[in-house]
Amino acid sequence: MPKKRFSAEQIVTLLRQIEVLMAQGKSAPEACRDAGISQQSYYRWRKEYGGLELDQAKRMKDLERENGWLMPTKCKEYICCALPLVRCSC
């Protein structure tokens, strides 16, 4: 079975759907089953995205992606500038 990838917006929507089902009296495993995800995914997503609005979740993912791109560049600059004993190819 192929692994599903959910966008930040889809995750926030699913978390809200599960919260509604649980407020209606369903248990967490039943609500997760109805939403089509595992309990482990639900608790992991709730820890990461709990309380976020759709636009906030999208912005967070965009910033994480940008940060992943910038970190290697900034680290290389820091090493070249801060450590004069290291020979640099900058």
Phi-psi label, residue 25: left if phi above 0, alpha if psi -120 to 50, beta otherwise: left
Any domain includes 67: yes
**Span 59-69, pLDDT tens digits:** 888 888 887 76
Q: What is the DSSP letter of 38?
A: -
Specify the amino acid at residue 84.
P
**Span 73-90, pLDDT tens digits:** 666 666 566 655 555 555
Whole domain around residue 63: which residue ranges? 8-82
Any domain includes 36: yes
Any domain includes 88: no
The whole-angstrom separation of Cα 75 and Cα 61 is 21
Q: Record the pTM.
A: 0.62
12 close to 53: Cβ distance less than 8 angstroms: yes
Residue 85, pLDDT score: 56
Q: For the chain, how many structural domains are there in total?
A: 1
SS3 state at 16: helix
